[in-house]
Amino acid sequence: MDFQDTAELAVFRSEVKSWLAANATRRTDKHHMGMEGEAAFREAKAWYRKKADAGLACLAWPREYGGAGLTPVHEVVWQQEVENYLTRDAQFVIGIGNCGPAIMHFANEDAKRELLPRMASAEDVWCQLFSEPSAGSDVAGLRTRAERDGDNWILNGQKIWTSGAQYSDYGVVLTRTDPTVSKYRGLTLFMIDMRQSGVEVRPIKQMDGGQHFNEVFFNDAIVPDNYRLGDVGGGWTGALTVLMSERLAISGIQPTGFPQFLDLVKSLQLNGRPIAKDPLVRERLATWYSQYAGLQASYKRMITAVAKGGIAGAEASLGKLVGAVMNQEIANFCCQLFGPAGIVQDTTLSPEQAHFQDSVLFSPGVRLAGGTDEVMRNILAEQVLGLPQEPRADKGIAFQDIPTGPAS
């Protein structure tokens, strides 16, 4: 796909620039996002509603589902322009970027028309409930049960590392409905109302001071059958759609750290001379620029596939793997460049409003979200390069017969 602006895209880009200039704060301004927690969430919802009212939310979604009815290329234009501003778009990437595509592909029409417009306007916030204490990288090993009860399903179990669950109205939850078949075949995907009494959310305190992740407990939580996504026992197909959409969404919005590093190189002095003259810094700059340019090209290639009616494939793992690692490496390197100031996490005292200090603390979580580095490498090896699968001791075994080790 040619990503040069057509006349139509040029007009759209101009409109986006004008709207952002009037409604958002540029990253080059000496400004920090500041607030966290409940206050940040309220600010994020207000921002997204303003964006939706302007017709700039869910650009590629059909109008009947609350979108703008445009194309994925319009999304690319938006991402290119919005990266110059401080916004809270990331607060909704899980719902709109991960859950939304799965609902469009697998939900019944009534559920789509009921739930997607409310998601698109940020009236409802969504979370993704996959990982469990004993099922992280091997998410198909999950144990949360869903049992049929007439026209409903009863859920019992625990999820962990669920981002934004304490603010969410709904979630997409992967459950086990049949333990008598292999672990991948016995899964079913549902949408669940997070506000019911059978759902308990416990925020997890992070080392950066935030509470973005949560434990979620289901105690006879009720899900109507019309909130099922896909066939009973077909949950793994839906889960892959969510995971690949998550990796594509992360590729589009995740921080790589490179634009901020480039700005730093242009302005910082080390021992009385411009840091740009340091050979090590120049070497790192060239290396990370090459990776950054590759990520941009890879993202455009994936968007091209989606624009032709496909879904995000295994290649989405590439952007997630490279970008997340690069973000962490840049953050660590810059904090070393700052010397003693690199350990000061104070937006009023630290260089660049403590951007790199914040990244040092948060970037490990980005490398875990949507799959660890090792999982990404396996996906690329097996599904892109066509290499043999790793040996699996549980292959062909019913989930209930898989050894779990001695009881403690």
The predicted-structure confidence for 194-244, as pLDDT tens digits, reads as follows: 999 999 999 998 877 778 899 999 999 999 999 999 999 999 999 988 877
* Amino acid 37: pLDDT: 72
Is position 394 within any domain? no
Average pLDDT over residues 80-96: 83
Is position 403 within any domain? no
Domain boundary (63, 89, 120) is at: 120
| Domain identity same for 268 and 374 | yes
| Domain identity same for 380 and 260 | yes
> Assign residue 207 a region: left if phi > 0, alpha if psi is -120 to 50, beta otherwise?
alpha
Q: What are the b/e assignments for 59-70, b being 16+ CB within 10 Å?
A: bbbeeebbbbeb
* Amino acid 255: pLDDT: 63
User: Which pLDDT band holds residue 161 (cuts at 50, 70, 90)?
Assistant: very high
Which one is predicted more confidently, 49 or 27?
49
* Amino acid 85: pLDDT: 86
CA angle centred on 56, ends 4 and 254, rounded to 5°: 70
| Domain identity same for 287 and 208 | no
246 pLDDT above the threshold of 60: yes
254 pLDDT above the threshold of 60: no
Q: Which of 61, 128, 62, 123 is nearest to 93 (CA)?
A: 128
Is position 401 within any domain? no
Is position 16 within any domain? no
| Domain identity same for 198 and 277 | no
Q: Is 114 annotated in the active site? A: no
| Domain identity same for 103 and 130 | no
Tokens encoding 186: 């016995």
Evaluate whether 155 touches 224 at the Cβ level (below 8 Å).
Answer: no
* Amino acid 3: pLDDT: 58
| Domain identity same for 367 and 316 | yes
Lowest-confidence segment of 27-31, 90-94, 223-227, 368-372 by average pLDDT: 27-31
Phi (first) and psi of residue 114, to 5 degrees:
-75, -45
| Domain identity same for 172 and 211 | yes
What's the CATH code of the domain at 298? Answer: 1.20.140.10
User: Which pLDDT band holds residue 77 (cuts at 50, 70, 90)?
Assistant: confident
The domain total for the chain is 3
* Amino acid 32: pLDDT: 47
Evaluate whether 337 touches 270 at the Cβ level (below 8 Å).
Answer: yes
Average pLDDT over residues 316-320: 80
30 pLDDT above the threshold of 50: no
Evaluate whether 157 touches 175 at the Cβ level (below 8 Å).
Answer: yes
Is position 109 within any domain? yes
What's the CATH code of the domain at 163? Answer: 2.40.110.10
Evaluate whether 325 touches 253 at the Cβ level (below 8 Å).
Answer: no
| Domain identity same for 336 and 280 | yes
| Domain identity same for 160 and 224 | yes
Lowest-confidence segment of 160-164, 180-184, 291-295, 356-360 by average pLDDT: 356-360
Catalytic residue among 246, 315, 329, 352: 246
* Amino acid 307: pLDDT: 61
| Domain identity same for 144 and 215 | yes
Domain residues for 74? 33-120
29 pLDDT above the threshold of 60: no
Average pLDDT over residues 275-299: 90
Contacts of 171 (CB under 8 A, 6+ apart): 99, 126, 127, 128, 129, 162, 165, 191, 192, 194, 216
How do residues 349-407 score in pLDDT, each as one tens digit? 776 667 788 888 888 888 887 788 898 899 889 888 899 988 888 888 999 998 876 65
| Domain identity same for 202 and 274 | no
For the CA atoms of 65, 67, 69, 74, the dihedral, rounded to the nearest 10 degrees, stands at -150
31 pLDDT above the threshold of 70: no
| Domain identity same for 89 and 66 | yes
Domain boundary (86, 120, 154) is at: 120
* Amino acid 133: pLDDT: 93
Is position 196 within any domain? yes
Domain boundary (60, 92, 120) is at: 120
Is position 177 within any domain? yes
* Amino acid 302: pLDDT: 73
Lowest-confidence segment of 19-33, 251-265, 299-313 by average pLDDT: 299-313
Alpha carbon distance 76, 59 (integer Å) = 10
Q: How far is C-alpha 274 from the chain's CA centre?
A: 36
46 pLDDT above the threshold of 60: yes
What's the CATH code of the domain at 51? Answer: 1.10.540.10
Is position 396 within any domain? no
